[in-house]
């Protein structure tokens, strides 16, 4: 039987390198962390200053407590040195003043594979200071490289469309955030006719414009305006991209040449139409030769409901306008064969001609087969 030599620090039986487990752990800490630690944050957006710039904190909830935690997470990810890679590090906020947060950092792990896991605790004082990050500084200074103007042809931009477009802007800004400190947009000049956005970066403006153009099949115009000179004498330009949404949207009626159609889907760069005379569906894009023949015919709200009064073989079917009780005749072939007297269906009048709208009319999403 071999008696362990005593630990040279405390005299208990030694287990490793002449030390007992506690003294070995004490001499080989799992982590190193200094106290106090300083952290600089943006008072507007909560970004944290890191070597070489600012790091955005994207919060899922806007809770203020959550923000400080995330800022401290970011700080500790840089300031806690792990001597043992597998150590698990966590912390608790013990108390919080305006500019000072006291935390208790905990590390759990094995300082040596031969020893049992142990826990270490470190009180750390975190000192917060506030300033304005580069992005917020540019926003508040009104800095913008590009303007995006949204208008619609012969109508107002609807609230729903505006919200959809602002969602696109938010999504792209979130994606570019962190990579592009100028990935921000501010709305200005909002009128019923449309709205303007000022965008920090031209790059982001182009990403947003491309997506809106394709989603709405908008017409696009770009303009450069001289806004000054850089230090070296190079001229500085600001781009304005104007996107004009078409007059028609899903559900409206258009004519492609002399073919009356209903718009079934708009998006991903193409327009899907239902030919009211033949019942066929077809897709065109702004690159199609027939695109220039495309013209607005009637809004969806112009469609009317009729009741079928009679259908007799070899005779025109009789219809009655459900609102005005006016009677009209229509060719049998133009009616859904399943439509029986007493039933109602929707119709649209284009160029004084009555067209039946399909019974199970599914507008959007775009036909995926093309
Ligand atoms: Zn010892
Ligand atoms: Zn900021």
Ligand 2 centroid to residue 148 C-alpha, Å: 23
Confidence of residue 180 (pLDDT cuts 50, 70, 90): confident
Q: How far is the CA of 16 from the centre of ligand 1 (A)?
A: 10
**φ, ψ for residue 365 (rounded to 5)?**
-70, 165
Q: How far apart are CA 64 and CA 84, in angstroms?
A: 33
Spacing, Cα 316 to ligand 1 middle (Å): 106
* Contact indicator for 304, 348 with CB cutoff of 8 Å: yes
How close is the Cα of 4 to the center of ligand 1, in Å? Answer: 12
Residue 172 Cα, ligand 2 centroid: separation in angstroms? Answer: 18
DSSP-derived secondary structure for 60-115: SS--HHHHHHHHHHHHHHHH-EESSTT-EEEEEEEEE-SSEEEEEEEEEE-SSTTS
Tell which wins on pLDDT, 34 or 365.
34
The answer to whether the CB of 212 falls within 8 A of the CB of 243 is yes
Tell me how many degrees the CA angle 139-145-146 measures, rounded to the nearest 5.
Answer: 105
**β-strand pairing of 37-42 with 118-131:** parallel
- 192 in helix, strand or coil? coil
Cα angle 21, 26, 32 (rounded to 5 degrees) comes to: 135
Return the pLDDT at 123.
Answer: 97
Shortest-distance ligand to the CA of residue 139: 2
pLDDT at 226: 86
Residue 63: the pLDDT is 64
Give the Å distance between the CA of 123 and the centre of ligand 2: 29
The CA distance from 112 to 302, in Å, is 80
- The answer on pLDDT for 234 being more than 90 is no
The whole-chain average pLDDT of the chain stands at 89
| Eight-class DSSP state of 357 | P
Q: Which one is predicted more confidently, 210 or 362?
A: 210
Full DSSP string of 207-239: HHHHHHHHHHT-EEEEEEEEEEE-TTS-EEEEE
Q: Output the CA 267–ligand 2 centroid distance in Å.
A: 35
Which listed ligand is nearest to 140 at the C-alpha? Answer: 2
Which ligand has an atom closest to residue 25 CA?
1
* Residue 114 CA, ligand 1 centroid: distance in Å: 16
Q: 53: which 2 tokens?
A: 């710039």
Helix (H) or strand (E) holding 334: none
CA distance 152 to 170: 21
Question: Which numbered ligand comes closest to the C-alpha of 24?
Answer: 1
Domains (range + CATH), the chain = 21-132 (no CATH), 142-245 (no CATH), 249-299 (2.30.30.140), 303-359 (2.40.50.140)
Look at residue 50 in the predicted model and tell me its pLDDT: 87
Tell me the C-alpha to C-alpha distance, in Å, between residue 119 and each of 75, 108, 226, 274.
22, 4, 63, 70
Rounded distance from Cα 120 to ligand 1 centre (Å) = 16
Q: How far is the CA of 57 from the centre of ligand 2 (A)?
A: 10
Q: List all residues 6 or more positions away from 93 whose beta carbon is below 8 Å from its beta carbon.
A: 68, 69, 72, 101, 102, 103
Distance (Å, rounded) from C-alpha 319 to C-alpha 307?
6
State the average pLDDT over residues 334-352. 87
pLDDT at 87: 94
Q: Distances from the Cα of 227 to the Cαs of 223, 236, 239, 243, in angstroms?
A: 12, 6, 10, 22
Ligand closest to the CA atom of residue 18: 1
d(CA 153, CA 296): 10
At residue 198 the predicted structure's pLDDT band, cuts being 50, 70 and 90, is very high
pLDDT tens per residue across span 69-78: 889 999 999 9
Distance 55 CA to ligand 2 centre (A): 9
Which region, left, alpha or beta, applies to residue 178 given φ > 0 means left and ψ of -120 to 50 means alpha? left
Q: Which ligand is nearest to the CA of 132?
A: 2
Give the least confident one: 267-271, 327-331, 359-363. Answer: 359-363
CA of 197 to the centre of ligand 2 (A): 19
Among 140-149, 187-196, 352-361, top mean pLDDT goes to 140-149
Distance 46 CA to ligand 2 centre (A): 6
Q: Is residue 366 predicted with pLDDT exceeding 50?
A: no
- Residue 185: closest CA among 214, 152, 220, 150: 150
To the question of pTM greater than 0.85 for the whole model, the response is no
Q: Which numbered ligand comes closest to the C-alpha of 27? A: 1
CA of 115 to the centre of ligand 1 (A): 13
Q: What is the pLDDT of residues 65-115, one digit of tens each?
A: 688 888 999 999 999 999 999 999 999 999 999 899 999 999 999 999 999
Two structure tokens written together for 124? 């750390």
**pLDDT 10s digits, 120-155:** 999 999 999 999 998 898 888 888 999 999 999 999
Q: Which residues pair with 124 in a beta bridge?
A: 103
Question: Which-ligand-closest: CA of 14?
Answer: 1
- In this prediction, residue 162 carries a pLDDT of 92
Q: Work out the average pLDDT over 195-212.
A: 94
Ligand positioned closest to the Cα atom of 9: 1
């Amino acid at each position: 039987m071999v008696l362990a030599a005593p630990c040279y620090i405390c005299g208990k039986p030694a287990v490793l390198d002449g030390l007992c487990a506690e003294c070995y752990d004490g001499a080989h800490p799992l982590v190193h962390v200094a106290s106090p630690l300083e952290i600089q944050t943006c008072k507007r957006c909560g970004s944290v200053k890191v070597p070489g710039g600012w790091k955005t904190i994207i919060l899922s909830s806007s809770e203020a407590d959550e923000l400080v935690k995330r800022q401290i997470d970011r700080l500790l990810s840089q300031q806690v040195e792990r001597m043992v890679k597998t150590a698990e590090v966590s912390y608790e906020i013990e108390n919080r003043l305006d500019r000072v947060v006291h935390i208790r950092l905990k590390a759990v792990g094995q300082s040596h594979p031969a020893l049992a896991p142990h826990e270490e605790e470190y009180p750390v004082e975190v000192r917060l200071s506030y300033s304005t990050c580069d992005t917020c500084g540019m926003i508040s200074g009104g800095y913008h490289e590009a303007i995006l103007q949204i208008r619609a042809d012969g109508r107002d931009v609807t609230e729903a469309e505006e919200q959809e477009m602002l969602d696109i802007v938010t999504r792209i800004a979130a994606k570019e955030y962190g990579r592009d400190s100028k990935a921000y947009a501010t709305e200005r000049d909002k009128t019923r006719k449309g709205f303007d956005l000022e965008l920090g970066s031209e790059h982001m403006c182009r990403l947003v414009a491309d997506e809106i153009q394709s989603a709405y099949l908008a017409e696009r115009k770009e303009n450069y305006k001289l806004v000054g000179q850089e230090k070296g004498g190079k001229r500085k330009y600001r781009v304005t991209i104007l996107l004009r949404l078409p007059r028609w949207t899903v559900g409206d009626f258009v004519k492609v040449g002399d073919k009356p159609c209903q718009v079934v889907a708009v998006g991903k760069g193409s327009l899907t139409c239902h030919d009211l005379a033949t019942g066929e569906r077809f897709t065109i894009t702004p690159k199609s030769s027939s695109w220039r023949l495309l013209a607005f015919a009637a809004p969806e709200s112009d469609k009317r409901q009729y009741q079928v009064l009679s259908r007799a073989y070899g005779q025109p079917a009789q219809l009655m306008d459900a609102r005005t009780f006016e009677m009209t005749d229509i060719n049998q072939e133009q009616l859904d064969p399943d439509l029986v007297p007493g039933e109602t269906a929707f119709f649209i009048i284009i160029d004084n001609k009555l067209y039946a709208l399909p019974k199970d009319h599914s507008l959007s999403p775009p036909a995926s087969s093309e």
